[in-house]
Structure 1
Amino acid sequence: MFEQARQISGHRDYVVIGSLSVLGVEEDGPVPSDMSMSIDIDCYTKADPPRVFDLKALLGEDSAFHANHGYYLDPVSPSLPSLPDDWELRLTRVERAGLRLWFLDPNDAAVSKYARSEPRDLRWIRAGVAAGLISLSTVRSRLRSTHFLDAEEEGRSRVQIDADTAWFERLKTQRVQGAGGGGS
């Protein structure tokens, strides 16, 4: 898809910021299916973010590309998600076939997903935490420098990270008990 995007737009640098931004860490190990099942690739052209919207008709939802491949480009603005300060400095760069793909750090993506707190976003976060791709302490720290849409979004994020912290503590306890529970 990015090769087609380059041919259409002339751009070779794309920033991936949604659920599939986790593919930037794919070379480090397997990515849980709950983190990589999305069929839309939220991205923008790095040098000229509005230019990505020119690609929607040919590569976006309901395009021939989507019908042929089962996934599509979802053009977004870099200002769309609620993200912590300096998120752009933490992008992971992957070069392939003359393209440079820049992937949002999983912890930064988790901040954005907490802001929305939709069920699929929360499944994504928990899968990342369980796989060791997301650190709740790092996410909590980055929440402090996040510019949220409003107080409701910020409150929702803080309530959800508290709930996930409690969930993860229970999970760790279960794992420890399971590992030592062989009987005597």
Structure 2
Amino acid sequence: MNRLQLHALLREAKALSGHGEFVIVGSLAILGAVSEPPDAMVMSVDVDAYMKADPGRTGELCEALGQGSPFEDEFGYYLDPVSPKLPSFPEGWQDRLLLVDFGDVRAFFVAPNDVAVSKYIRGDARDMRWLRAGLMRGLLNLDVIERMVGSAPTLGNELQAARKRMTGHRKRLKL
């Protein structure tokens, strides 16, 4: 996935919804920080996003742009509507959104370290690959992530597990 592909998807979303501002929250949010991130950070074919002014209506775009849609059939990627409350981002994440103005549509991307907090909490194997690639390229700052992780909403032992994953990366990557 790249910015041109993302722009094409958001342009279609605007044409269907009338909304011209979207928030990108998942792995592909890295495209807001750098135009050419490592391949391991942009392997996803689903764009986790919501309409900034009306998040609850984003799901209405699924038939035309979601998984199994004609858009996915033609282009190989799709819109995955999410709630702004879904990811485990640290306090203040909305104040750190990164804007990319494509001219006809605007995308607000969750900052890389905020996405990293959520990924450390979730701990999926794909998330670990994304995190390693970002840490190795200097796109993520483990010191900042460690400071922020405690302010993210978690359940049960998720915070302890996230900190253990960070310690593992610090040791293995010699950070």
TM-score (normalizing by structure 1): 0.88
* Alpha-carbon shift at residue 151 of structure 1 (Å): 2.1
1:160 equivalent in alignment to 2:165: yes
Could you say which residue in structure 1 is the equivalent of 2:55? 49
1:82 equivalent in alignment to 2:91: no
Could you say which residue in structure 2 is the equivalent of 1:63? 69
Could you say which residue in structure 2 is the equivalent of 1:14? 22
Could you say which residue in structure 2 is the equivalent of 1:142? 148
Tell me which stretches of 4 or more aligned residues in structure 1 moved more than 2 Å: none
Letter in 2 for 1:165: R
* Cα-to-partner distance string for 1:114-146 (whole Å, 9 max, x where unaligned): 111011100000100000000000100111211
Could you say which residue in structure 1 is the equivalent of 2:5? none
SS at match of 2:68: coil
Please give the alpha-carbon distance, in whole angstroms, between the structure 1 residues aligned to 2:160 and 2:47: 28
SS at match of 2:165: helix
Q: Which has the larger radius of gyration?
A: 1
Percent identity over the alignment?
41
Q: CA RMSD in A?
A: 1.0
SS at match of 1:20: helix
SS at match of 2:127: helix
The correspondence of residues 33-48 of structure 1 with structure 2, limited to 5 A, is 33-48=39-54
1:133 equivalent in alignment to 2:134: no
* Alpha-carbon shift at residue 155 of structure 1 (Å): 1.8
- CA contact 2:99–2:106 (8 Å) conserved in 1: yes
* Alpha-carbon shift at residue 25 of structure 1 (Å): 1.4
Please give the alpha-carbon distance, in whole angstroms, between the structure 2 residues aligned to 1:60 and 1:15: 16
* Alpha-carbon shift at residue 98 of structure 1 (Å): 1.7
Stretches of structure 2 that go unaligned for 5 or more consecutive residues are 1-8
Please give the alpha-carbon distance, in whole angstroms, between the structure 1 residues aligned to 2:157 and 2:47: 27
State the aligned residue count: 167
Please give the alpha-carbon distance, in whole angstroms, between the structure 1 residues aligned to 2:71 and 2:102: 20
16, 24, 44: which one aligns with 2:32: 24
Please give the alpha-carbon distance, in whole angstroms, between the structure 2 residues aligned to 1:152 and 1:45: 32
SS at match of 1:79: coil
SS at match of 1:144: helix
